[in-house]
Amino acid sequence: MADSIFSKIIRGEIPCLKVYEDEKVFSFLDINPIAPGHTLVIPKEPAETLDQLSDESAAALGKILPLLCRAVMKATGTRQYNILQNNGKGAHQAVAHVHFHIIPKPNSTEGLGIQWPTRPLPQEQGQEILAKIRDAIAGTVI
């Protein structure tokens, strides 16, 4: 399990601008925001990536995220926003503790810029990956 800078923030060993806290979830302002109101929402459980998170922490995060989104949008007067959740260094995860970014998108220059290199899904490739994903789900106890 990770003991990252975010675990230290949860324990109060490093200061933060706290937005919200309950038994399983902690939320605070990002120290380097890409838009005003850029907020991080994290489980207290020190899982590194989302796939490693317990059902209990996942449920707690899922329950509170929409409320925090509404609060950030109200506070910033913004109606558009992105939720970003990176897993792994190659996927731009800098802190090895699960975190969701709530990033207001007030205009075209602030907030998240996204590259979305789409290409059509070849039928055969789609069927192949679909079968593998379904097999993986079937092999998991839900």
State the residues that interact with ligand 5GP by CB under 6 A: 5, 14, 16, 28-32, 40, 86, 92-95
- Annotate 76-114 with three-state secondary structure: HCCCCEEEECCCCHHHCCCCCCCCEEEEECCCCCCCCCC
- The length of the chain, given as a count of residues: 142
Reported as half-sphere exposure (CB side, CA atoms, 13 A), residue 14 has a value of 10
State how far the Cα of 28 lies from the Cα of 95, in Å rounded to an integer.
Answer: 14
How many other C-beta atoms lie within 10 A of the C-beta of residue 137?
9
Nearer to ligand 5GP, 34 or 58 (CB): 34
Minimum gap (Å) between residue 100 Cβ and ligand 5GP:
9
What value, to the nearest 5°, has the Cα angle with vertex 121 and ends 118 and 124?
A: 160
Residues involved in catalysis: 99
Minimum gap (Å) between residue 121 Cβ and ligand 5GP:
27
Nearer to ligand 5GP, 62 or 88 (CB): 88
Nearer to ligand 5GP, 78 or 97 (CB): 97
Nearer to ligand 5GP, 11 or 132 (CB): 11
Minimum gap (Å) between residue 138 Cβ and ligand 5GP:
31
Minimum gap (Å) between residue 21 Cβ and ligand 5GP:
14
